[in-house]
Amino acid sequence: MTIWDGVQRGYIPGETLRIPGTLKMHSGTADVDPVTFEVIRYSLMNTNLEHGQTIQRLARLAGHDDHQGLPALDPYRVRATWCSSAPTCSISPTPRRMTIKWILENRAGNPGIEPGDMFVSNDPYVGTPHQPDTIVAAPVFVGAELFCWVANVMHHADVGGSVMGSFCVDATDMFTDPPAFPPFKLVSRGEVRRDLEGMFLRQSRVPTEVHMDLRAAISANRVAVERITALVDRYGADAVKAVMNGCSTPASGRWRNGCRRSLTAGGATGSTPRPRAPVTPASTPTRSPCASRASTSTSTTREPTRRRAPSTSPTPVSPVLSSPR
């Protein structure tokens, strides 16, 4: 039993997830030729784009102006390993991946993970950046096996707390912030559970707007699930999973290589860094510009500003160079 379980402390998943054996998970792969690989890869990218466009068309308040409110979405492999992300908010893949891993470890046994389900969470101990950022995650099944996940996160207008907008700067701890809900099954086999939906909306000062944004997130997940299911029907589950694996592995390798190059002397270009000049302490302390401005503004006498007399010499005119047409 670890204290980093998302309840006592922030959730930190182990190297191996503790998933009940009753949940069957897809693990196949296949050799995919380069042309088919790119076709499937771009289909996943288009699924991400359509996922985001669905939210933008249906949402009332979330994801319009604030860059943190942009709908962020991804398909994840079966054990919540990132494979594709839309060009929206770049801070959100990790919170969604953490939340999906927590669902696999803590919800697979009870209440269970089934086709048509969706889980909602705004718990920072599990994965979300803060309570207004609400994650909606949906499993994708192929037959009786869990194939992958799709998920989005939206910054809602208000989810409770001491002030409108739920940015509670007066909160002394997490428990005086807006209510934090660990992942719960809001959609069961395609049906929205109205009792849990009403519980989530009750905390908001603008429940109508939050309701529309929450339904937009649910609808976008349904679109993504349908597109991935159609892709599997056309090319086969093993081929699509092979492309997912092929997208994530090179990306992580490039990221590690980039970090390694940036940490070595000279970076990627091989040039040596310029040596810094030695810093010698000043004999007298220097005043900051702010202090200088403050002392000037507080003085009782000020020298009047004198206007400069206009110059009698003609202003030089630079030649205009016209480019040949």
Question: Does any domain span residue 3?
Answer: no
Compute the distance between CA of residue 63 and CA of residue 56 in angstroms, rounded to an integer.
7
For residues 257 and 249, the answer to whether their CB atoms sit within 8 Å is: no
Which residues does residue 141 pair with via DSSP β-bridges, in sequence order? 146
Question: Does any domain span residue 320?
Answer: no
Characterize the bridge pairing of strands 145-155 and 184-188: unpaired
First to last CA, the chain: 76
Compute the distance between CA of residue 147 and CA of residue 311 in angstroms, rounded to an integer.
79
% of the chain exceeding 90 in pLDDT: 42
Question: What are the two backbone dihedrals, phi and then psi, of residue 146, each rounded to the nearest 5 degrees?
Answer: -75, 120
Q: Which amino acid is located at 309 in the chain?
A: A
Question: Does any domain span residue 87?
Answer: yes
Question: Does any domain span residue 214?
Answer: yes
Compute the distance between CA of residue 2 and CA of residue 17 in angstroms, rounded to an integer.
13
Compute the distance between CA of residue 269 and CA of residue 191 in angstroms, rounded to an integer.
56
Pick left, alpha or beta for residue 110 (phi over 0 → left; psi -120 to 50 → alpha; otherwise beta).
Answer: beta
Question: Does any domain span residue 21?
Answer: no
How high is the pLDDT of residue 83? 57
How high is the pLDDT of residue 266? 55
pTM, two decimals, is 0.72
**What's the total number of domains in the chain?**
1
Compute the distance between CA of residue 310 and CA of residue 252 in angstroms, rounded to an integer.
64
For residues 101 and 19, the answer to whether their CB atoms sit within 8 Å is: no
> Using CA atoms in the order 127, 131, 134, 135, what is the torsion angle rounded to 10 degrees?
10
Length of the chain: 325
Give Cα separations from 32 to 27, 75, 269 (angstroms): 16, 19, 35
pLDDT at 74 over 50: yes
Give Cα separations from 135 to 30, 130, 229 (angstroms): 32, 11, 22
- 91-119 pLDDT per residue, tens: 667 788 889 999 999 999 999 999 999 99
Question: Does any domain span residue 196?
Answer: yes
Q: What is the Rg, in whole angstroms, of the alpha carbon atoms belonging to the chain?
A: 28
**Nearest in space to 21 (alpha carbons), one of 134, 131, 109, 121:** 109
Least reliable range by pLDDT among 1-10, 15-24, 181-190, 261-270: 261-270
**Per-residue DSSP letters for 90-122?**
TTSHHHHHHHHHHHHHHTIIIII--TT-EEEE-
**DSSP annotation of 47:** H
Question: Does any domain span residue 242?
Answer: yes
Token couple for 203: 């905390």
pLDDT at 34 over 50: yes
* 62: containing domain: 34-261
Compute the distance between CA of residue 314 and CA of residue 304 in angstroms, rounded to an integer.
29
Alpha-helical segments (H) within the chain: 34-58, 93-106, 194-201, 207-235, 237-263, 289-297
- 130-174 pLDDT per residue, tens: 899 999 999 999 999 999 999 998 889 999 988 888 888 888 887
pLDDT at 35 over 60: yes
Q: Which residue has the higher pLDDT, 254 or 42?
A: 42
> Using CA atoms in the order 117, 108, 51, 228, what is the torsion angle rounded to 10 degrees?
-90
How high is the pLDDT of residue 1? 52
Question: Does any domain span residue 18?
Answer: no
Cβ-in-10-Å burial (0-12, 13-18, 19+) of 119 comes to buried
